[in-house]
Structure 1
Amino acid sequence: MDYGTLTIDEIRNGYRYDESEKAHVCNYCGRRFPAGQVFPMGDRYFEPEFAAREHIAAEHDGSFCKLIEGGAKYNTFTDTQKELLGLFAQGLSDNEIASKLGIKASTVRHQKFTFREKAKQAKYYLAVYEEVFGEDGSRRKAEDIVDIPNTATMMDDRYVITEKERERILKSEFETMEPLRLRHYPLKAKRQVVVLSEVAKLFDLGRTYSESETREMLSAVYEDYSMLRRYLVDYGFMGRKKDGSEYWLK
């Protein structure tokens, strides 16, 4: 999921409304709750938006858990900060948190103050960004940088790719785009990022693929499917079980 396309509320709630499909969609697994339907959950029935909320709570342990542990490159919280936020989320008092962590209540209050100041800073930064680039980033040009995948494992110049560069790389590295067929696997890291980003689009978010399914899909793109699969995992586009029996899009 590209967090850059979501509003703060959509990130916080864990689901979004897809106007084209007329459905509420889970950010984490892609499950859809189309308008005009009701969804049974336990012994109750829910309309789409409420069903999405219940789904987040039941299947993903609530949005807070996914936010605090996810976000990849955007999640800069330390383990200590995550623990504190979890205790704050439980509604515990400063004294109760201090007792649990073996620290002073004043230390807890200072950390709470720090969180609040960072939130103010983030709001100010966002206001300036939206004034320059537009609320949805729509004031973009072909020279603008392509969005970095949320799950990127290596943050360096290999991700500094303009839209024009991306289009040029796609044309040179792929024989055809439909069906997707790779000429050869590039040696340069920047080109690898573009290639892997395109290959990853073949997989659906929220679906788990067996090893044989993954092999079949990737071998249609490139003969050395095992290398392609390895780099998809290494670059953070896909996850897999330790034994390699299942794969999924991150």
Structure 2
Amino acid sequence: MNGEELFWSASVEELAQGYIFKQDTGEYVCLICNKGFEDGIIYPVGELFFEARKAIEQHIKDVHHSMFDYLVKMGKKYTGLSDHQKELLVYFKQGLSDKEIVRLLKGGSTSTIRNHRFKLKEKEKQAKVFLALMGLLKTEKDESAQEFITFHKGAKMVDDRYAITKEEKEKVLATYFKQGPDGPLDTFPSKEKRKIIVLQQILKRFDVNKKYTEREVNEVIKTAHPDFATIRRYFIEYGFMDRNKECTQYWVKQ
């Protein structure tokens, strides 16, 4: 199970804490960067030493600041929240009063803020019911149900192009990577769904915790296909990768 699958398969409680415990490997794994901490090992953190669970909690604070910050910055397609709602949540998290929030927003009224608090509480109730319904669906043994693949959290323009089943993915990979998914790409597909599947597969050749120069990105892509410029551009356009303004550093979006 890759990092994206770990993130989306995590429970609400695990998302809030920022890590999961993998029984098969005995590791606590960060849901943001997938860094693992093996249970039973003592890890040095600054001048202190922590057991694995405490070490990953400290890792999230030191490297990612907090899960609240990470989750609230996710796009609307994942949170269902407008930028204004997310801004209010940040203020609520800080424990600010309605009057203080109105002053920071430089407009509105305390009654408007109270109304937003109410609507967010209603949204929470709706989310609980929806999660319960989806949980009940999973208990049904429906052989006709199709299992969709997961995509990176930086994905842009998420629409029906991303409605790809695991069976579809396997067929596309077999068609375009005739020597296996880790081998060369025969041709770069023109159809959107197939293009997304191929890009996701090539992306696996990059280290999610590393920053690359443009030349290094090109070299990795060339292990799959000689047209590195096109694939590099699609990585950026589709939100698989990001880069700095100078285009001197590239990294996998998480």
Normalising by structure 1, report the TM-score: 0.89
Determine the structure 1 residue equivalent to 2:134.
Answer: 129
Query: Do 1:238 and 1:248's aligned partners in 2 also have CA atoms closer than 8 Å?
Result: yes
Superposed displacement of residue 51, structure 1: 1.4
Cα distance 1:245–1:80, how it changes in 2: closer, same or farther (>3 A)?
Answer: same
User: Is the aligned partner of 1:68 residue 2:83?
Assistant: no
Distance in 1, matches of 2:94 and 2:169, equals 45
The answer on whether the counterparts of 1:87 and 1:97 sit within 8 Å (CA) in structure 2 is yes
Verify the 8 A CA contact 2:174 2:181 in the aligned structure 1.
no
CA shift digits 1:169-195 (9 cap, x unpaired): 111111222532100101111110111
2:117 is equivalent to residue 119 of structure 1: no
**Paired residue secondary structure (1:17):** strand
Please give the per-residue CA displacement for 1:96-133, whole angstroms capped at 9, x wherever unaligned.
Answer: 32343343222211111111110110110111111012
Unmatched runs of 5 consecutive residues or more in structure 1? none
**What SS is found at the alignment partner of 2:247?**
coil
1:142 positional shift = 7.4
Distance in 1, matches of 2:178 and 2:237, equals 24
Alignment RMSD, CA only? 2.3
The code of the aligned residue for 1:120 comes to K
Provide the residue aligned with 1:103 in structure 2. Answer: 108
Matches within 5 A, 1:33-52: 33-52=37-56
- Cα distance in 1 for residues equivalent to 2:182 and 2:201: 12
- Mapped partners of 1:72, 1:180: distance in 2: 36
| 1:218 alignment partner in structure 2 | 221
What is the rounded CA distance, in whole Å, between the counterparts of 2:8 and 2:215 in structure 1?
33
**8 Å CA contact 1:211, 1:244 repeated in 2:** yes
Distance 1:54 1:141, change over 3 A: farther
- 1:249 matched to 2:247: no
Aligned partners of 1:144, 1:29: CA distance in 2, in Å?
25
CA distance in 2, matches of 1:50, 1:84: 30
Structure 1 stretch displaced more, 32-41 or 94-103: 94-103
Report the counterpart of residue 157 of structure 1 in structure 2: 160
| 1:131-164 C-alpha deviation (Å, 9 max, x unpaired) | 0124xx9977674333343222012221122222
Whichever residue aligns with residue 104 of structure 1, its letter is S
**TM-score, normalized by length of structure 2?**
0.88
Name the stretch that deviates more: 225-234 or 73-82: 73-82
1:55-91 alpha-carbon deviations (Å, 9 max, x no partner): 1112112111111112563033222212211111112
Distance (Å, rounded) in 2 between the aligned partners of 1:191 and 1:63: 33
Deviating beyond 4 angstroms after TM superposition, the runs of 4 or more aligned structure 1 residues are 137-142
> Percent of aligned positions with the same letter in both sequences?
36
Uncovered stretches (5+) of structure 2, i.e. residues with no partner? none
Between Structure 1 and Structure 2, how many residues are aligned?
Answer: 248
1:89 to 79, 93, 103: 93
**Partner amino acid, structure 2, of 1:124:** V
1:11 aligns with 2:5: no
- Compute the displacement of 1:36 (Å): 1.5
Q: CA deviation at 1:30?
A: 2.2
2:186 to 183, 187, 193: 183
Q: Secondary structure at the residue paired with 1:92?
A: coil
- Structure 1 residues 203 and 19, CA, compared in 2 at 3 Å: closer, same or farther? farther
1:78 lines up with 2:78 in the alignment: no
Question: Structure 1 166/48 Cα, relative in aligned 2: closer, same or farther at 3 Å?
Answer: same
In 1, Cα distance between equivalents of 2:143 and 2:50: 39
Residue 237 of structure 2 aligns with which residue? 234
1 CA distance for matches of 2:76 and 2:183? 28
Q: Aligned with 1:45: secondary structure?
A: strand
Shift of 1:222: 0.5
